[in-house]
Structure 1
Amino acid sequence: MKGIVIFGAGGRAGRAVTAEALARGRTVTAVVRDPARYPDLGAEGVTVVQGDVLDAGTVARVAAGHAGAVHAVSPFSGPEDAVGSVDPRFFVRAADALLDGLGAAGVSRLVAVGLGANLLGADGRMVLDDPVAFPQPLRPFALAHTAGLHRLRERADGPVDWVMLTPAGFLEHGGPRTGRYRVGGERLPSVGGAGSNGRGEPWLSYADLAVAVVDEIETPARHRTRVSVFNVRGREEDDRQGHGVSGRRRGK
């Protein structure tokens, strides 16, 4: 069974995807900028390597022989970083390097982790364009992320079959792994029932985001597009359409 190469493996999403991949019997190549900063990443089945997601040659070298690649890179290591000073072309450059490098390596599947700020709200505007709903100091980062999505769409006819999975709603660190998720479109989900105790509130744990990511590598269902992924807090029903659920995975 071929492994998965994860760019940005030291972040929350990257760590969650690593755990999910290992639980399914996959090996992981964890790509980070400085392995010395992540001594805890090493584990059985994980190979930690230094790599630059902005360099197509590096991407080709570390990705060769893998079943698929995950893009979970952020140019910042934490909230204390100056997110307003982000290179506006960071995610564009990353998209180009990944598409070129994966193509050269013969790795045809890329799953990117998206940003909810560029989903559309009820008024048809992107969330990042609503000064009430979105913190304006984070706007440059959100715009840079959005530019990366545009670049993937511009290059949709290349050899790499990509999908971007965008968490819709609150993304919970340390939340439970339910093994299921819903798939939406370009808009924030309108789930209703949000009148009391948070019922009907869209959310997603990092663990279930990872389920969706590994699902899309193992059994690609969406191609050269961006979708939203979410669960609904407070609802018990298992709405199978659009879920990543199987008996094997739910038992973990």
Structure 2
Amino acid sequence: MTSIVVFGAGGRAGRAIVAEAQSRGLTVVPVVRDPARHPDLPGAVPGDVTDPAAVAAIVSGHHAAVNAVSPFSGPDQLARGGLDPDHFVKAADALTGSGVPRVVAIGLFSNLDGAGPLPEQFRAFGDAHTAGLHRLRASGADWVMLTPPASLSLDNPSTGRYRLGGEAAEEGSLSYADLALAVIDEIEKPTLHRTRAAIVSEG
């Protein structure tokens, strides 16, 4: 049976991914910083995706790891200096150095070709994401980064279908449920390796 680890399982994307994996009968280990804050996530374990030793211990024996962690809560956090500019680099290093066979990361739409620049207050976050992508590319691991459009939202209905593109920005919308479909598909039957891909809903 396929077993996966989901870092950032308490967030919107992470919860959808955990639910989709469980619906398919996969063994899932949800990882959050503080399990006590997520009593609705049975079996959640504490962990920091930027901690190499912790990541290696958590993913040992599993088939894949998903990075759905977002350390960014808004421009106020940037103003307070609360964003580590090396967050995504550290996460990439920890995951690709852990020995887990497959890494699936959630990307940022502004990094796609032709997406246009982020507003000034969000650029530090975009730059941090880009640095993490470069570090993934420099690794020898089997990884894929799935990048939703700017209109990723809980309000978007699930269509049960999605379209994977290339590295260029795609017009369209996406639900978290359809993002989760793609993530688990790329674990169970990988089609993309060592690349990123835009993803939008179909239907």
TM (norm. structure 1) is 0.75
1:58 maps to a residue whose letter is A
1:225 maps to a residue whose letter is T
Distance across 1 between alignment mates of 2:120 and 2:160: 34
Count of equivalent residues: 201
* Contact 2:2/2:188 (8 A) holds in 1: no
Q: Which residue of the partner structure matches residue 66 of structure 1?
A: 62
The 5 Å alignment of 1:117-196 reads 117-121=110-114, 126-127=115-116, 129=117, 134-155=118-139, 158=140, 160-189=141-170
Distance across 1 between alignment mates of 2:109 and 2:122: 12
Distance across 2 between alignment mates of 1:176 and 1:143: 30
TM (norm. structure 2) is 0.92
Q: Which residue of the partner structure matches residue 45 of structure 2?
A: 49
Q: Which residue of the partner structure matches residue 240 of structure 1?
A: none
Identity among equivalent positions (%) equals 57
The 5 Å alignment of 1:204-223 reads 204-223=174-193
Unmatched tracts of structure 2, length 5 or more: none
Q: CA RMSD in A?
A: 1.6
Summarize the Cα distance change of 1:55–1:108 in structure 2 as closer, same or farther, 3 Å threshold: same
* Contact 1:169/1:188 (8 A) holds in 2: no
* Contact 1:165/1:227 (8 A) holds in 2: yes
Deviation at 1:174, TM superposition (A): 4.3
Which residue of 74, 97, 122 corresponds with 2:94?
97
Q: Which residue of the partner structure matches residue 83 of structure 1?
A: 78
Unmatched tracts of structure 1, length 5 or more: 191-201, 237-252
Deviation at 1:189, TM superposition (A): 2.1
1:29 maps to a residue whose letter is V
Distance across 2 between alignment mates of 1:211 and 1:15: 12
Deviation at 1:89, TM superposition (A): 1.0
Distance across 1 between alignment mates of 2:55 and 2:148: 25
Distance across 1 between alignment mates of 2:150 and 2:35: 32
